[in-house]
Structure 1
């Protein structure tokens, strides 16, 4: 079962709100930050942007009586010493997280493959860019939301440069919409190459196969700016991958936020900050995937 398990790595700042101590780190330096964390290690940290997502992931294990289907790993730039406050908070909230890497200020992304993580979710954009550049699935959580009361975990994805490669997006960026549409018609039967979050979606799909579709604890959606006829290549790509996606929204460039709200997304992954902002404006947690042509030469 272990090789079928979904493993998600989260940073301490994605899991908990560490804004206060992070400000001390940025303004007063590492020593002041360490002192602050040790002095306050018995104070429970408030939830961060990714907290409700992590909780829903862990709750999936309660719905399946066999071996755990999901594991959450902590990857933190804290030291083991200052990390005591983080684990005290994990215990307080009764989160089943036992594995961690504390790297004392060094980017922890190199531990992603060692833990077998399908996704690294962090509040540190630089760590995420390093992880993506090394070929690992990663996203920067940039906004939170009021927790969705539904017990079902609902995850929405953009298509190009997220689930799929940016090969078609490059044509759009360089040659315009007409050239993009013509290419997608001509290549409709040729599956798109894998994007950075394809294996994460595949791992979600494996969990779904353990449940009847109407009883699945996970529901997925593709929310893309594509429209007909460019939709066909996407449908055929997912079919070629053998992956079921529960809902597919082809919006033809419409803002995504209202549709994400209607879907009830717990989190939305997109390569464009503007779409993340649209999600945030509708109180949907958003994670930026700084991958592909639209993110080249951008900070």
Structure 2
């Protein structure tokens, strides 16, 4: 069963133009004891939501009528947290997070909740949910609880160049198209924001191959309108050290990914 609550405190985004990002509530808020406190603590994805709001704010500064904005949906599949739905909503209000909708579903039905909300990017800390969503055609990324908190002033998106130049490696044709569509939307946002002091940063990392592979990935992203701020050719070296240094909010690779290896 899927239940969706619209947040009347937040102006709803244009359903035809907004980029819908779904994040699990347990990634945004740290679960704690039911001690009577109405507010959850900040989770690993908390700075991500703040960074998404920074991008929206800059887009609206440039054009108050802008419709190409991030639209955040909070997904809750944890039965214990569902029993405390009012606490999730009050925590969102307390921190000033611009969440448009709260979606509560069982673990079996969460793919349906993503599809019903036209989600274009799903972010979770659950290692089972990310690949399931990707198989269902939703672009997904696995958030890493082990890395230090990412900055909240700038949204940092990292692309795996190997997936960019080998789109056939994605789990399903739907997820591959979703990845291409999402990157094009990011590129459009970049063009509207401009380069100076941008709250949106795109990083490219190629794990395999040499400079030619990196160059091919750069050209592919540019063909989608994406401007790459930094590019790293690892040539077989592990990604872990560079990820720890750059601290991207999420890594997009083959339809679903994690910030490991």
Name the TM tier (shorter chain): 0.7 to 0.9
Residue 81 of structure 1 deviates from its aligned partner by 4.2
**Matched residues in 1 for 2:164 and 2:218: separation?**
15
Tell me: CA distance 1:13–1:232, structure 2 relative to 1, closer, same or farther (3 Å): same
How big is each residue's C-alpha offset from its partner over 1:70-128, in whole Å with a ceiling of 9 and x where there is no partner?
A: 21101111465432221121112111113121114544122223322220111222222
- Helix, strand or coil for the counterpart of 1:129? helix
TM-score, structure 1 as length reference: 0.67
| Residue correspondence of structure 1 range 1-299 to structure 2 within 5 A | 2=14, 3-18=16-31, 39-40=34-35, 42-63=37-58, 64-65=60-61, 66=64, 67=66, 69-78=69-78, 81-149=83-151, 151-161=153-163, 164-167=166-169, 194=176, 197-226=179-208, 227-263=210-246, 265-270=248-253, 276-277=259-260
**Matched residues in 2 for 1:105 and 1:41: separation?**
27
More strand by share: 2
Tell me: CA distance 1:41–1:197, structure 2 relative to 1, closer, same or farther (3 Å): farther
Count of aligned pairs: 236
TM-score, structure 2 as length reference: 0.75
More helix by share: 1
Q: Could you say what the CA RMSD is over the residues aligned between the two structures, in angstroms? A: 3.2
Query: Comparing 196-205 with 218-227, which one deviates more in the overlay?
Result: 196-205
Task: Extract unaligned runs of 5+ from structure 2.
Answer: 1-12
**Matched residues in 2 for 1:70 and 1:81: separation?**
28
Relative contact order, higher structure (CA 8 A, sep 6+): 2
**Matched residues in 2 for 1:60 and 1:7: separation?**
14
